[in-house]
A and B are shown apart, each in its own frame.
Chain A
């Protein structure tokens, strides 16, 4: 196995050996901050909530083109950029003799007064750049989404939105297009030599297998290791709690885990798919999942975070959990002993505890497309609508035969130590008419079903009230009441 990693930075292949200065869980942000040439990349929070550290990662896609994705560099461990291009704010402008020529996204930010103190600006520029490379004339909704992961405390955002919109009108040529061939060549060189990675330092073992089979073997040998999908959760143990993770298995480079199969009735998502990809795929046929992921973290986080990772963490406020219960999804677990499928409703066992055995890995999530008379909805209540963790979330599904309930799931996050269903209310509503009277009778049952806690996000009373109200909201939206 390969001990070093290689990536393209500043137009050159950089090969990194791990030592006292850089360990395998050193973040890309901390790597860049140590270099004199990349001080433009800023740390604002070290937890993926502010976006000041946003960089763009270029990946060689199957068409031999480069796909550009914005990410929070504070959440990315160095081995995760192996074989990729790392682009920072310093790489956007060009030097032409004595004059600097700004990239269109930079020039528009200057012209629109998009920066004040300037500290968030490099990260915002990189989010704009990523959008510039991916969408022509983006809709307002897409601009907002691309910028949600970047906090600015000075401007009130209006000039930033304006600058983004202007820069992305008929966007085309830039020096990244002109130099693409050369970068593709460099990336191909690295890719050809890319093996599974195994890094051993005095304090850490870090493995990045390339195949599922390798991953199962490793996991079987190291059952206490930390499994990493996109590291958006695990990285905080390093950046915020200063933990030294002893054994890590990084699943981010296994192509088999990133495949999606869609049939007439079923969508099977690879557990290694990013939540952003899942969001895109689910837009039409799993609209509630799409909605869930549209208010999940930010684009930078969703690009890193994986479906399997979010499930595997088993967090009571992991937003994909209640919605997967509502879809009655299935989880496929695999390991050296074979594979099995578990119903989502049986997967969560306790606080951050799942049915996954120590030597198993989540490999796919299987969702049946809802029938035409089934309505699935997701609700998230949080202090701020976007880029916030749920105070309460709910995944609801109801199947109506004429107006009679023939199937119902009311799954809640944030109301107990685990994602939990309001069983009494479900039983009451089942086989009953889908009417306001019945909903009003069921609401107190929801309140009774949970004894939520008070914490930094809200008090217990709010959680109880909003949980029951969400049922009314679900009813009002399924029956078109204003």
Chain B
């Protein structure tokens, strides 16, 4: 099915309402956050008096004014809402201001005196490793004996890879409006991926029951993981100001402040040692993943876990040891970002394969195929899960042909012989991505489906819409499960008073979990409705009663399959239900079955299933400037049976391009004081329309249904992000051509034109 995004006409006509667009009465106050200008410092003086007296200012709050717990940490409680005596990163909130206008708030901020005594700051992962500032325990996952196998293996490569941070750059910055109700009540309209947690944190900082707080999220203007926990901050701050002033308060972070204050994708330093035979088959691998967690734990440990679970990407490695460490540094706490550690883990693995190929002077695509997980054997991961329904081989066999890989490899080589200043590169990379929250209990979802007497349906579920089309898919699922037309259904804004205690919309699992919960609610309603109409239809002919099992709902009609003349339009039927005292409101619930693993031993089945994909990318590098051009990219991706082809394709294309941004132009740099240098789109460069492949071919693999998820579909949000590795490694292939592929080029992620050019210069000197 291919229906447009359920908000598409609203998007294109400017009628979609985001947080900043909500019409609030004239009592609205503007909230402003005063944050630390030091990466690590003691606050020696904090004087708010002048600001408090400024005309038009309604509240100036510090940690002393927090009525509940001064705590925001979603897992580990190591993040204060407002700084107490010490600041640990630039951008950490110290004071909140509520004022009648933004101008007044800005003027008031200038009247606040904060004095600091700077302390030693740790600003990069290498220093953190040296000082051993671990955020959590050292984790390992292993199978076989990597050390012993490395002693026996034919070839050994060691090395390290740096991967950079990535700013989410959602178009809508962090925003929340809090509206006071009676006494303690607050309704928070929040741009959050996790309304239940936002609700919990507001309740905790205010010291009130969660039943006093309602969080509502209609849609986000992009999130990408950046609003999984980071949305809680603006929500808690505006709630504090709302609580203090008893007026509606809005905080919408200015773009530069958003970039300075919020966490990013974790930079990683990956060290590896790999052993392989003459053919390129891997015998053993040791990988150490070191994550820059920023100043607090946030989700760093779960992200590290997923990175470790994806250290193998798509390859069977008989002897493997993966060690993971997350370190504290004095940057804003790094956080969830599309892929959630998976990209970092897989970047390490793909670098290793690329290096094996260069060492053996073989085509890297062949090395990849050689090491893919098998179908019947060599199909157990390093954490003990079987790679069931392995699609790697079928995808490879198709894509290697449709992309004309080998012919183009030949053409690329010929081009490179003939050209000195331009070099081409080509690469194929696979994706295998585990679907489920690896913290198993989070794999649950709720729904509330209301049918009204006119036959219209309002679907509530715990997931949030951030552009990924979740609500559209939910609408399609609800229509298909209930047997009514799409037009009857509306998917409501996510609201914690409708569906409580939900998990974040994350881990690509939004449709899998919430779709099933909605189905569950609809199953309940169908049971009630068909029960009633079995009785109703039987009234006229008691001698030949209608059986409930034969009552069907299809195409807006309720009928008896055995007696098709016994029928009633759905709309009319709902009035009959009400008249007969049948409840037309039902909750639904779902928890993913058959998963579970032992985090301590790193063994078990963390994932419900795997999503697969493959990509071939060809680039041309200007060896004099380091610019690259994305000439052609072919993606073949597995989404099971697509619920919505247009939306799935949009996710695949968009994720790939976002991945290309991370791998190429999106560079996050800090100076030696910890100040973020790229704090606006002036210097932080996400892909523009001109950066997409000149020839961009995206195909959804047909005929591979997924038995483990709603309507045989598969999660799609994150897996295609990693297709960008094909482009990243094609760039490396082009650089390598400068030295006739005889030397290993210096390379890292992102491969900016600076990285590319300096790598080429170094190769020229060696060659």
* Chain A residues close to B by CB (< 8 Å): 33, 36, 38-47, 49-50, 52, 88-90, 92-93, 100, 102, 106-107, 109-111, 113-122, 125, 144, 147-148, 150-161, 240, 242, 379, 381, 383-389, 391, 455-459, 461-462, 465-466, 469-470, 472-473, 476, 481-482
Contacts and interface: CB of A to CB of B under 8 A. Distances in A.
Nearest to B623: A469
Contacts of B650: 113, 116, 154-156, 159
A461 B665 contact: no
Contacts of B170: 117, 119, 153
B757 A88 contact: no
B669 interface: yes
B691 A102 contact: no
Interface residues of B, dominant DSSP: loop
Best-buried of B254, B686, B690, B692 by chain A (most CB within 10 Å): B690
B422 interface: yes
Contacts of A151: 169, 171, 681, 686, 688
A118 B221 contact: yes
Contact of B172 (A89, A117, A152, A160): A117
B603 interface: no
B647 interface: yes
Nearest to A482: B419
19 contacts: A41-B14, A44-B171, A45-B255, A47-B255, A102-B13, A109-B8, A113-B650, A114-B12, A115-B5, A115-B11, A118-B10, A119-B171, A242-B103, A242-B106, A456-B683, A462-B626, A469-B624, A472-B421, A476-B624
B719 to A, nearest CB: 15
Interface of B: 4-5, 7-18, 20-21, 23, 103, 106, 168-172, 219-224, 254-256, 418-422, 466-469, 622, 624-627, 646-647, 649-650, 653-658, 665, 667, 669, 677-678, 680-683, 685-692, 696, 698, 752-754, 757-758, 761
B585 to A, nearest CB: 29
A47 B680 contact: yes
B172 to A, nearest CB: 5
Contacts of B696: 156, 158
Given A159-B650, A473-B624, A45 B469 contact: no
Contact of B420 (A148, A383, A456, A482): A482
B14 A457 contact: no
Contact of A40 (B8, B15, B172, B466): B15
Contact of A89 (B13, B106, B667, B688): B13
Given A242-B106, A383-B753, A385-B691, A102 B647 contact: no
A118 B650 CA distance: 13
A462 B171 contact: no
B653 A158 contact: yes
Nearest to B4: A110
B682 A389 contact: yes
A119 B421 contact: no
Contacts of B678: 456
B332 to A, nearest CB: 17
Contacts of B667: 383
Contact of B681 (A49, A110, A144): A49
B686 A153 contact: yes
A455 to B, nearest CB: 7
A118 B467 contact: yes
Nearest to A91: B14
B51 to A, nearest CB: 16
Given A125-B12, A383-B683, 19 more contacts: A39-B17, A42-B172, A100-B9, A102-B9, A113-B650, A115-B11, A119-B170, A151-B681, A153-B168, A155-B657, A156-B653, A156-B696, A159-B650, A381-B753, A386-B690, A456-B669, A470-B625, A476-B624, A482-B419
Contacts of A47: 255, 680-682
Contacts of B658: 153, 156
B219 A90 contact: no
B681 A50 contact: yes
Given A47-B680, A456-B677, A482-B422, A116 B467 contact: yes
B650 to A, nearest CB: 5
Nearest to B221: A119
B9 A461 contact: no
A262 B622 CA distance: 36
Contacts of A462: 626, 753-754, 757-758
Contact of B690 (A144, A156, A457, A482): A144
A47 B684 CA distance: 13
Contacts of B687: 156-157, 384
Nearest to B622: A473
Given A46-B254, A154-B467, A113 B4 contact: yes
A50 B9 CA distance: 22
A120 B656 CA distance: 19
A41 B422 CA distance: 43
B222 A466 contact: no
Contacts of B23: 36, 39
Given A154-B654, A465-B757, A121 B685 contact: no
A153 B169 contact: yes
Contact of A116 (B103, B468, B758): B468
B620 to A, nearest CB: 12
Contacts of B692: 156-158
